[in-house]
Amino acid sequence: MNNRHELVTAVEHAIAGNWTEAHAIVQRYEDDKTACWIHACLHKIEGDEANSRYWYGRAGQSYEAYADAAGELATIKAALTY
């Protein structure tokens, strides 16, 4: 994944509550499963369940897998920075 650094930045923005900045980054990588997962989590935080479920499907992840967005974002960040 060539865009790993930018996706880590997107996750950090999301954790900090900078939804717009995080969203702008992940929208550039719609063909990347991890970007789609971050995108899904952002829409979950926003409360847009239908859009969130769409992005979870693109990411190959489950909407129900994480009840807590902060924990999910931490998991994504860990996967990106291993």
pTM of the model: 0.94
Q: Which long-range contacts (CB under 8 A, 24 or more apart) does 44-47 make?
A: 44/69, 44/72, 45/14, 45/19, 45/69, 46/19
pLDDT above 90: residue 22: yes
Domain that holds residue 21: 4-81
Q: Tokens 């789609």 appear where? A: 36
Q: Which of 20, 24, 18 is nearest to 6 (CA)?
A: 24
How far apart, in whole angstroms, are the C-alpha atoms of residue 33 and residue 48?
A: 19
pLDDT band at 2 (very low <50, low <70, confident <90, very high): low
- The distance from CA 35 to its chain's CA centroid, rounded to whole angstroms, is 6
Q: How many separate domains does the chain show?
A: 1
Max CA distance (Å), the chain:
31
pLDDT for residue 21: 97
